[in-house]
Amino acid sequence: MNATAGEETIAAIATPMGEGGISIIRVSGDQSIEVVNHLFKGRDLTKVASHTINYGHIVDPETGEEIDEVMASVMKAPKTYTKEDVVEVNCHGGLLVTNQILELILANGARMAEPGEFTKRAFLSGRLDLSQAEAVMDIIRAKTDKSKQVAVNQLDGSLSRLIRKFRQEILNVLAKVEVNIDYPEYDDAEVMTTKLMKDHAISLRKKMVKLLDTAKQGKVLRDGLATAIIGRPNVGKSSLLNALLHEDKAIVTNVAGTTRDVIEEYVNVKGVPLKLIDTAGIRQTSDQVEKIGVERSEKAIQTADLVLLLIDGSEPLTDEDHELIKATAGKQRIVLVNKTDLPQKVDMGELKAALDGDELITTSIVTNKGMDKLAATISHLFFNEGIESSQNQVMLTNARQIALLKKAKTALDDVLKGIDDGMPVDLVQIDLRRSWDLLGEITGDSYQDELIDQLFSQFCLGK
């Protein structure tokens, strides 16, 4: 890793903009203490002990104007987030005063931090590896306690340790192969070397497949489950959205076609983050606005990870119901027979015959009947062993990690194919080393500068 010593001192607001109790301006770099001390009226920050909070005022050195009463936290390298000297100025929350202090810091020796630059410096200094840096953003974006815990585990280095264990296994094999090639003690040295490579490649491939199996769950916890609420008009779609959100987000009336557009909201269902999509009722209509909503609803079905198909239990099945059953066939689907608080007219036998063994739940959103079963069913569909056990295991949580591990596994597939095809050991060894390099890209032990710049550009300012 390249050390960041000697780089420019950077600064940014580390708290959300707006009114609040406090705002924090973070400053990092060799000159951070001197820069803030030049503006600070109170104790001499260059002489205070590390990791102390110091009371004082920020004063404009040119005009002598007192900007705000603050607390300045001084943290000296290397025991900081970036492994550089860091000062955090805690001022009163508010747009004006926070920006005034930031502007003074920038005018007196610091420059504005780029998005994610603090975490980028932590990575470049060896404070974090790449998977841990990605976990920082996952914690910030976590939508449930469970997704946050998975990110915390990754920040703690659980994934990094496993990937580095994989790399060490490959390295051990490569070292033995080199020894056997350079110093053959037996006539069958190549046969022994080939068997060694094959046995280890098979064993490691199984471990990679097991880790890849967590990708679906990890992605759900990180990004949320795109869940489309589908049904013909006035079957209770908006009522279901409101019940899951525990608030009246969508307009609910007895008039068919009230929902004209797609409404998206996140909700926590037993630890599973659902990106709920309340769609317009799908039916033939001459209303041009409603027709656009119906088209968007049909698109939502195609992109959804899960479909909640609502059927009105107080009415017989209609042609529109049968069309929706066909349109959602092949999707991960839960069928809800709603309005069970009213006299039932739906033919359950006809409905079950039309379905392909999908989960069927009877509900009354008005009385909250069936909602607990719906939540449990969603959790079981995507976390068969229970979400509690899933959150504690090592997981792949983003597309970059998943893609690299798949490539590393493919490289091992090439190793095994090469051995079976009788290729020379030194050629097979190339694929084994490629797997080792690809695993290194997950943790950042091997990386390209362009990748690092692109990845950290997705972070927020101040992080």
Q: Please count the other Cβ atoms lying within 10 Å of the Cβ belonging to residue 199.
A: 11
Rounded to whole angstroms, how far apart are CA atoms 365 and 373?
A: 12
pLDDT bracket for residue 462 (50, 70, 90)? low
Choose among 338, 320, 317: nearest CA to 282.
320
- Beta carbons of 122 and 248 less than 8 angstroms apart: no
pLDDT bracket for residue 48 (50, 70, 90)? very high
Mean pLDDT score across all residues of the chain? 83
Per-residue model confidence (pLDDT) at position 196: 86
Choose among 421, 395, 447, 430: nearest CA to 146.
395
Question: What are 188-227's pLDDT values in tens digits?
Answer: 556 667 888 999 999 999 999 999 988 878 878 777 788 8
Per-residue model confidence (pLDDT) at position 139: 84
Q: pTM for this one? A: 0.69
Q: Which of 129-138, 188-197, 333-342, 420-429 has the lowest mean pLDDT?
A: 188-197
Q: Please count the other Cβ atoms lying within 10 Å of the Cβ belonging to residue 345.
A: 12
Residue 6 has pLDDT above 80, yes or no: no
Q: Which of 134-148, 161-175, 304-318 has the lowest mean pLDDT?
A: 134-148
Residue 255 has pLDDT above 60, yes or no: no
Choose among 289, 284, 301, 274: nearest CA to 382.
274
Per-residue model confidence (pLDDT) at position 303: 82
- Beta carbons of 91 and 70 less than 8 angstroms apart: yes
Per-residue model confidence (pLDDT) at position 178: 76
Q: Could you please report the per-residue DSSP string of 125-158?
A: TTSS-HHHHHHHHHHHH--SHHHHHHHHHHHTTH
Q: Please count the other Cβ atoms lying within 10 Å of the Cβ belonging to residue 261.
A: 14
Q: Could you please report the per-residue DSSP string of 5-42?
A: TTPPPEEEE-S-SSS-SEEEEEEESTTHHHHHHHHEEE
Tell me the two tokens of residue 218: 């990890």
Pick the CATH number of 10-129 from 3.40.630.30, 3.50.50.60, 3.30.1360.120, 3.90.550.10: 3.30.1360.120
Which residue stretches of 306-457 are H helix?
Answer: 319-327, 348-354, 371-382, 387-392, 399-420, 425-443, 449-456
Pick the CATH number of 142-214+397-444 from 1.20.1250.20, 1.20.120.430, 1.10.3720.10, 1.20.1070.10: 1.20.120.430
Rounded to whole angstroms, how far apart are CA atoms 74 and 59?
A: 18
Cβ-count burial 374-403 (b if 16+ within 10 Å, e if not): bbebbbebbbeeebeebbeebbbbbebbbe
The domain segmentation of the chain, as residue ranges, is 10-129, 142-214+397-444, 223-386
Rounded to whole angstroms, how far apart are CA atoms 15 and 21?
A: 11
Backbone angles phi, psi at 269, to 5 degrees: -115, 100
Pick the CATH number of 223-386 from 3.10.250.10, 3.40.50.620, 2.40.50.100, 3.40.50.300: 3.40.50.300
Rounded to whole angstroms, how far apart are CA atoms 306 and 301?
A: 9
- Beta carbons of 104 and 64 less than 8 angstroms apart: no
- Beta carbons of 311 and 226 less than 8 angstroms apart: no
Per-residue model confidence (pLDDT) at position 188: 53
Per-residue model confidence (pLDDT) at position 345: 92
Question: What are 31-41's pLDDT values in tens digits?
Answer: 999 999 999 99
Rounded to whole angstroms, how far apart are CA atoms 40 and 48?
A: 13
Choose among 360, 366, 355: nearest CA to 326.
355
- Beta carbons of 59 and 100 less than 8 angstroms apart: no
Beta-ladder partners of 26: 12, 88
Residue 320 has pLDDT above 60, yes or no: yes
Rounded to whole angstroms, how far apart are CA atoms 230 and 311?
A: 9
Question: What are 279-293's pLDDT values in tens digits?
Answer: 654 444 445 444 554
pLDDT bracket for residue 54 (50, 70, 90)? very high
Beta-ladder partners of 359: 334
Choose among 367, 377, 376: nearest CA to 236.
367
Average pLDDT of the segment spanning 332-345: 92
- Beta carbons of 113 and 10 less than 8 angstroms apart: yes
Average pLDDT of the segment spanning 403-412: 96
- Comparison of pLDDT for 128 and 279, the residue scoring more: 128
